[in-house]
Structure 1
């Protein structure tokens, strides 16, 4: 990612059309409010064990979770797993995102004009950052930074889209998989499963 580059607020072009300027403050408030609800409805408490979810049916986007089980070990058949359910979902999101990122990175951008190419390059850099955030979240499950990493990963996908919209451009069709709702849902599930069991730290100290 180029040094000193500042990315603007994010929005998924497939789920949401570009809003009028007067609507941006409302959308920002609504986004923060929905994130607040996710953190409190799907968990809460301090960093600790991640045992609240044991089945895809419990997640905000069950279909995205079930899609991970199709090619997984039989242990995950039916979307039911044990104590590593968190890692299963985050690793699945990372694998899915890495796959589409490789596809996007391999596209010949020579045919694009300079503005489209610049926005494209930003998306590739954001994708690399997203993969790193997901990897850190898997390797450091007890870190207090994990929720921040996962939030940034989810934000990067939509920031990528804004890079085109803010220039009055539409993301090329070859960018569609990176901005797909399935990737959005996988990242959203990762945020949900990362919320630790309430008072888990206190239980460990008692």
Structure 2
């Protein structure tokens, strides 16, 4: 390698490093930048079991939540996040189940059961969201009781998915499903915590 080639390579290395440092700085600034509604979300998420995830999952709703500063709207947003994630999981699991050649018989059976659980979960969260959209002062307690029941059942369904994988070895599919289910359970758990807080209020509707 001649001297000029070496200089060019060194220059490219420094250029690449500068670019990476610049991108990292931008990302760090974006992650740390405060937006209207962040304080409301952070204070509300403190009651959840996974507050960091709660804040991260709701940040896209910050502007609208800031405008209303409503616990009901916050709960609706958390339930929406859970619902979208549950639907995405169903699509992901359905695609995975079609790769029959990559799965053992036990994995296929466990994944098939999970798909049913995911469908049930999505329906229960959907019913919860529909109820939250039509809360009335005269039926508030009854409606919130329904939402609590459905969200609790959704959380149980996600846990039940993992039961089918207990007899499956330490395969890649089990690891993937476990990770997805754990994330879903954390989102639903957070939403349920916010639901419970709203249910205990007297002015939530």
TM-score range, shorter chain: 0.5 to 0.7
RMSD of equivalent CA atoms = 2.9
What displacement does 1:86 show? 1.1
Give the distance between the partners of 1:153 and 1:104, measured in 2 at CA: 17
Alignment counterpart, residue 60 of structure 1, candidates 39, 49, 65? 49
> TM-score under structure 2 normalisation?
0.61
Moved over 4 A (4+): none
What displacement does 1:73 show? 5.3
Query: Given the alignment of the two structures, is residue 105 of structure 1 paired with residue 94 of structure 2, yes or no?
Result: yes
Give the distance between the partners of 1:133 and 1:97, measured in 2 at CA: 10
Give the distance between the partners of 1:176 and 1:81, measured in 2 at CA: 35
Query: Given the alignment of the two structures, is residue 149 of structure 1 paired with residue 150 of structure 2, yes or no?
Result: yes
Give the corresponding residue for 2:77.
88
> Which consecutive residues of structure 2, in runs of 5 or more, have no partner in the other structure?
1-41, 133-142
The answer to whether the Cα contact below 8 Å between 2:58 and 2:77 also exists between their aligned partners in 1 is no
The answer to whether the Cα contact below 8 Å between 1:109 and 1:117 also exists between their aligned partners in 2 is no
Give the corresponding residue for 2:24.
none
More divergent stretch after superposition (150-159 vs 108-117): 108-117
- Per-residue Cα deviation, 1:139-187 (whole angstroms, up to 9, x for no partner): 113253222211111111111111110x34446144244223x322211
> TM-score under structure 1 normalisation?
0.61
Q: Equivalent residues in 2 for 1:108-123 (5 A)? A: 108-111=98-101, 112-123=103-114
Give the corresponding residue for 2:159.
158
Give the corresponding residue for 1:27.
none
Pick 1 or 2: higher relative contact order, CA cutoff 8 A, min separation 6: 1
The answer to whether the Cα contact below 8 Å between 2:107 and 2:168 also exists between their aligned partners in 1 is no
Task: Judging by fraction of residues, say which structure has more helix.
Answer: 2
The answer to whether the Cα contact below 8 Å between 2:121 and 2:153 also exists between their aligned partners in 1 is yes
Look at both structures and tell me which one has the larger radius of gyration over its CA atoms: 2
